[in-house]
A and B are shown apart, each in its own frame.
Chain A
Amino acid sequence: MAKPNKPQHAPDTGHEWDGIRELTNPPPRWWMIAFHAGWIWCVVYFILYPAIPLVHESTKGILGWTQIKEFKQAVAENDAIKAPYLKKVAAMSGQELLADPGMRNFAESSAKAIFGDNCAGCHGSGGQGAPGLFPNLADDAWLYGGDFDTIVESITDGRQGNMPAHEGELDDAQINKLADFVIAEAQGKGTAEGLALFNEAGCGGCHGEDAKGGAINELGSGAANLTDGIWRFGGSRDEVLRTIRYGVNQEDVPNTRVAIMPAFGGKLSPEEIKMLAVKVHELGGGK
């Protein structure tokens, strides 16, 4: 049986300051047990896990544990949870995916990261685009079509707009008149005279005789509907003039518009693209 711990009866170390003595009370036994358990734990830990830093790396520990292994394990676990859903995504059609709230939600949530990594750089985190530079994905103005399968196609194969440069083809007065017409048309105030000029100059060939883009945009030229007030390259007079003059994606035309959407077919899996398409479709303008 240990002696009761009586502070004043303990011998001192011989150190004394102004009458205050330093005593040699032993720490409580349970405290010492905890202390020994503590350092034994440390030693065991040092043996099991990476611990002692050396010059280039640290000791490895006999368990072979590493952070990256733990991370990969967690990723694998997550993948295992997602696998059956991804199988379902692969098996379901776009319509089915959109109609099933649970799967649609899964696709949208999964696509959030994919969108952030691959699309948001140009189209913005909410698909809002950048005026004049990158198209808005949230509206319902589609250059190539906004149904599920077409969106999949756009992501998989990419898109490249094409509009010839009209400088040199048309004289300055004509170009100015055309600009006047399309700006007015976008506000619903286009004149018949302007439309005649529009078709005469051959614009109707792609943009449709009524300037509404027509069926032609489903053929893949990306010709815009000019009547809806939504401008791919900006709706100010200067911007419109520039687009007419120098066209889109014209080789050797210095001021031409650049409108290239890269193909993601090789980079993303078909399931990822499908889920992205769900997200884009649900941004607001899906057809």
Chain B
Amino acid sequence: MQEQEQVNIDELYADARHWHVNTGGETIHAMRVPGRFRNFKWFASCLWLLYLIAPYIRWEGHQAILFNIPERQFHLFSITLWPQDIWMLSLVLILLAMTLFGVTAVAGRVWCGYFCFQTIWTDWFTWLEEKIEGTPVQRRKLDAAPWSLRKIRLKLFKHTLWLLISILTGVTFAAYFTDAFELWHSYLTFNAPQVAWVVVAVFVFGTYVFAGFMREQVCFWLCPYARIQSVMVDKDTVLPTYDEGRGEPRGKVRGKGSEGRGDCIDCRLCVGVCPTGVDIREGMQEGCITCGMCIDACDSIMDKVNRPRGLIRYASEKEMAGEVLPPLFRRPRVIAYSTIFLLAVGGIVYGLTHIPPVELSVVHARQPLYIQMSNGMIENKYTIKALNKTSADRHFQLRVEGAPGVHIVGDAGAGIVLESGKMVPFHVFLAAEPAALKGEKMPLRLVLESIEPPAIRMEYDSVFIGPARH
């Protein structure tokens, strides 16, 4: 028994002999090889350019996308969202989560590989690095070389550019929360509010350190999405995979014993291009962000040695085992994710098309529940909170419906002015003869109607409360 265990542990150790944990002790200088996935990654990069451009777009006289926190409004082109519409945000979050889950279940960490700002910014940074300092070999040499004027010049240039990108990233983020042009002006004249400086400082630091130095370490050790996505993957998920059956035993193309070898010529180009330093030939692993760079690299080699492409290719575990993948719409997870996705989309579309022009809420006073007046009438007090979400001041009138005998005291229901974007709560009293009350609690409906066109009608159901009946 003891012996048996001993053997197993030794096997474990032997199994992990080649195992190498990337703790960032070594900077990964990945090569760049052109190819399909490289092109796709550039295309995905361009989507992030929208992030950098969007704050400068104007729409109907204001910033097209603006999170106006002091005024509690979110502008999205023609749409203005108020805190009351925040439920849509939860649907947006669900939608994003379902997209992530669904896409990951089908094709792995697509987000990480092509769309995540961490990998995109890192990609931009390393692209600049290559333009300035040269190929990975030259870069490694430069890193190892003693400090010289040339090294200082190159490094200074690189870090300046990195910092500029970081500053642009930070200011852009802040620009979503206030007028972008004014913000630039206030930064350039050193008049920006403290919070704006803090935001930029945090973003500059974050961008510079994460994209410039931490790089794949963020994906390895910090990022929760990496782990979340990893558990979404199953045997049906297509992932960049090394076709072991075809590739092994690996070895040089020519030479002694080359006849019995597999297609992998052991050039290690797949490792050289990997931005996270993974050797995909050891199988899928946590460090792989499924960016496909190794596929491009391997395909280029296969072309050179006249072997079919696809030694490394997007394939699922099942496919590799020779099974056929079930069609997408037959997979329970895909069905579940897309159903929730569609529901969320439906909810958002409904929400956006049904934003009420006026938000009405009525609170019945709790203390006292009713007031006995000296002329015998019973009065109830209501606090009316009406928010005019349109861009003009409007006149309204308030009426009671569904409760005969109950009327609004005085002229409180007439000529209500709701200023645009403002909410000033006010009280109204409703009165009724005790004889008109049908019970202790009588349901009624308060109706707020616009006096001038366009016709706006908001309803709110409440109750009228009278003395207890014995």
Contact = CB atoms under 8 A, between A and B. Distances in A.
Interface of A: 1-8, 18-20, 25, 27-31, 101-102, 105, 124-128, 136, 138-141, 225, 228-230, 282-285
A270 to B, nearest CB: 24
14 contacts: A2-B25, A4-B26, A5-B21, A6-B19, A7-B19, A18-B5, A18-B9, A19-B9, A28-B25, A29-B25, A140-B374, A228-B375, A282-B427, A284-B381
Interface in B12-42: 13, 16-17, 19-26
A139 B377 CA distance: 10
Given A6-B21, A30-B214, A229-B376, A139 B427 contact: no
Contacts of A7: 16, 19, 21
A1 B426 contact: no
- Give the residue among A3, A4, A282 with the most B Cβ atoms within 10 A: A4
Contact of A20 (B9, B217, B381): B9
Q: What are the 4 A-B residue pairs with the smallest beta carbon separation, nearest first?
A: A126-B367, A2-B25, A28-B23, A228-B374
Contacts, number: 99
A135 B426 CA distance: 25
Interface string B423-457: 01111010000000000000000000000000000
B133 interface: no
B221 interface: yes
B401 to A, nearest CB: 23
Contact of A4 (B13, B17, B25, B368): B25
A28 B368 contact: no
Nearest to B423: A105
Interface string B370-407: 01111110010100000000000000000000000000
Interface of B: 5-6, 9-10, 13, 16-17, 19-26, 143-144, 214, 217, 221, 365-368, 371-376, 379, 381, 417, 424-427, 429
A18 B424 CA distance: 74
Contacts of B374: 139-141, 225, 228-230
Contact of A139 (B17, B366, B372): B372
Nearest to B376: A229
B33 to A, nearest CB: 23
B19 A8 contact: yes
Nearest to A28: B23
A105 B425 contact: yes
A230 B374 CA distance: 6
A19 B24 contact: no
A140 B372 CA distance: 8
B25 A3 contact: yes
